[in-house]
A and B are shown apart, each in its own frame.
Chain A
């Protein structure tokens, strides 16, 4: 009796540890330059891949090189203090150290390219970035969360023959 209670308790706590209140969900670090996705992606409706062009060709979507920003900001809003940080960095040939928001453990192999090719909306995983002044991790990014999507899409008859997201271990773990 007591023993079973203890066992149940143990299981519960283990489950809790594994059930994602230890994930980075809600993580919203400050960035060296207060770049606003709400402004660029939201108001100005810039295509995500205009800056994150890596997403279509590589596992890494990548943070855009400073020269991409400078493409516009050579002459747009050059006066704003945040842009000045940018221009200084370029002038001093000093790379900008952004703080990473979304991050998977390195035993997980994730490819943006594959998901872009499958026409998955960026927001599906990253949340409504176009509304965020400062980017936040919206989802748990746990394995269960990934599989949920993979399974439901595979199960959807509409995707038969078109999409079959893998659920093999080696799709992400190699």
Chain B
């Protein structure tokens, strides 16, 4: 019943082909060999940045928001910019793992694990900012509705900030569960590979939750996974929709716009994929996984970027159109001020990074050259950060009453905090590459091209997902 035959029309997703055990070995290798010097160097750098950020945040919380460059007119700047930026990054994970899974996009298999991890870390970074941007963060728990002795005094369910609280925490929870469920079979594999009685084995045994690889277990597992994918899918849309409402439901010209939800979601996917690519291109090189994260994977993702980048570009245009068409003098002024005011440099950085640079992906040559892709994605990351900066700051600094117009300049503390958030992100990601399989062993095996398997193992050709278990479970 070797139903799987290789079609010449299909490019293999793992190329050159590997045997099942090779796959396991290769993916498990980074966790089993001692970390290289380069890894320590990278980790050291990341932790240094993290320490810087931690220092800055401590100083800010201890001294006051005054340590930032904000003023009576510009009440948000780096803080919320970073928040939206990181939430955006966090989008690719769920999109890849949930939506592409539902669409049966098999090429996702070798990237979804790390994409999901990235999502979790990004959301952690994002969640940091709403907390520290508060004047009195030690009272942050007041944003949760809980019975209290104030008669009872509840939270304001009309406030988009409150919606954020729920949206982000839900998103984080589901992503975490989804990610963990996906990990279980691999955790079992690692458990079985670890030496009898070793601590490593104990830990993985605990995490694997008694996975036994039986057909029934696999069946239940896949059902759950499918259900969770279904659950996670709407979140991809909901989270950034709600984040966008922080702005859309206000009445500030430049914020008060109905197109924000789709615009923000597209932007999020756009930036998310850019970040995934950035990381993948490094990881596949450093960890030698080029054959599993193939150029084809990269190319597919660049295509997604072209589409979402197009949507974002369209949104920029639409904003200007609505501003002009509305006839609202405040709206009009805000957008003219955006493009030609004191923050024009930020605006044009955004345009060139987000609208122009992705156009390079129309050329196959660039789509298929990892380093070209890498450079472009870096630009996109920068551009998407500036998009949020432009939306937040240029709308605020010149609003209705000219008397209160002002300028915003970031302080060292703010820049340090931004850098620190990257430190946190990379620290977590680097640790992840060492302690967990950054590619889903089980799923990758399901997309192997059996026709090209070495003779003898054909008899083992069984429903793909089960295969690894037969092998390693016996080992």
Chains A and B touch each other in the complex, with CB atoms below 8 Å apart: yes
Interface residues of A (CB under 8 A from B): 3, 11, 14-15, 18-20, 23, 140, 142-148
Point out the residues of chain A lying under 8 angstroms from B146, CB to CB.
11, 14-15, 18
Query: B153 near A143 (CB under 8 angstroms)?
Result: yes
In-complex Cβ contact of B147 among A15, A23, A142, A147 (8 A): A15
Q: Could you tell me the distance between the alpha carbons of A148 and B148 in the complex, rounded to whole angstroms?
A: 13
Residue pair A144, B152 in contact (C-beta under 8 Å): yes
Q: Number of residues in B with C-beta < 8 Å to the partner?
A: 11
Chain A residues closer than 8 Å to B153, beta-carbon distance: 143
Q: Does B149 contact A (CB under 8 A)?
A: yes
Q: Which residues of A contact B340 (CB under 8 A)?
A: none
Q: Contacts A3-B173, A14-B141 hold; do A20 and B149 have CB atoms under 8 A apart?
A: yes
10 CB-based A-B contacts, threshold 8 Å: A14-B148, A18-B148, A18-B149, A19-B149, A20-B149, A142-B151, A143-B151, A144-B148, A144-B149, A146-B151
Judging by beta carbons under 8 Å apart, are A142 and B149 in contact?
A: yes
**B150 interface hit (Cβ, 8 Å):** yes
Q: How far, in angstroms, from A19 to B150 measured CA to CA in the complex?
A: 8
Q: Which 7 A-B pairs have the closest CB atoms?
A: A144-B151, A147-B151, A18-B148, A142-B149, A11-B146, A143-B150, A144-B149
Q: Tell me the complex Cα distance, A168–B146, Å.
A: 21
Q: Verify if B144 is at the interface (C-beta below 8 Å from A).
A: yes
Residue in A closest to B145 when the chains form the complex, CB atoms: A11
- Residues on B lying within 8 angstroms of A by beta carbon are 141, 144, 146-153, 173
In the complex, the answer to whether B173 meets A143 with C-beta atoms within 8 Å is no
**B147-A19 in contact (CB<8A):** yes
Residue among A18, A142, A146 with most chain B CB within 10 A? A18
A19 touches B151 (CB 8 A): no
A3 proximity list for chain B (CB < 8 A): 173
Q: Is the interface of B mostly helix, strand, loop or mixed?
A: loop
CB nearest neighbor in B for A144: B151
Nearest residue in A to B173 (C-beta to C-beta)? Answer: A3
Which chain A residue lies CB-closest to B172? A3
**Which B residue's beta carbon lies closest to that of A20?**
B149
User: What residues on B are CB-neighbors of A19 within 8 Å?
Assistant: 147-149
Min CB–CB distance A15 → chain B (angstroms): 5
**Which of chain A's residues has its CB closest to B153's CB?**
A143
In the assembled complex, the CB of B170 is this many whole angstroms from the nearest CB of chain A, namely 11
State the Cβ distance, A136 to closest chain B Cβ, in Å.
Answer: 20
Complex-state Cα separation, A146 to B146, whole angstroms:
19
How far is B150's CA from A145's CA once the two chains are assembled, in angstroms?
8
Closest to B169 in A: A7
Q: How long is the Cα–Cα vector from A142 to B144 in the complex, in angstroms?
A: 20
The contact of A143 among B141, B144, B147, B149, by CB within 8 Å, is B149
Give CA–CA (A3, B149) in the complex, Å: 25
Min CB–CB distance B172 → chain A (angstroms): 10
Give chain B residues whose Cβ lies under 8 Å from the Cβ of A144.
Answer: 148-152
How many Å lie between the Cα of A19 and that of B149 in the bound state?
5
Q: Shortest distance in angstroms between A10's beta carbon and chain B's nearest beta carbon?
A: 8
Residues of the A chain whose Cβ atoms lie less than 8 Å from the Cβ of B149: 18-20, 23, 140, 142-145
* Complex contact A15–B148 (CB within 8 A): yes
Q: How far is the CA of A144 from the CA of B147 in the complex (A)?
A: 11
Q: Which residues of A contact B151 (CB under 8 A)?
A: 142-148
Whether B150 and A142, one on each chain, are in contact in the complex, defined by CB atoms closer than 8 angstroms, is yes
Which residue from A14, A146, A147 sits with its C-beta under 8 Å from B144? Answer: A14
- What are the residues of chain A within 8 A of B152 when measuring CB–CB? 144
Cα A20 to Cα B147 with chains together (Å): 12
B431 to chain A, nearest CB (A): 22
Would you give the shortest CB distance from A5 to chain B, in whole angstroms?
A: 13
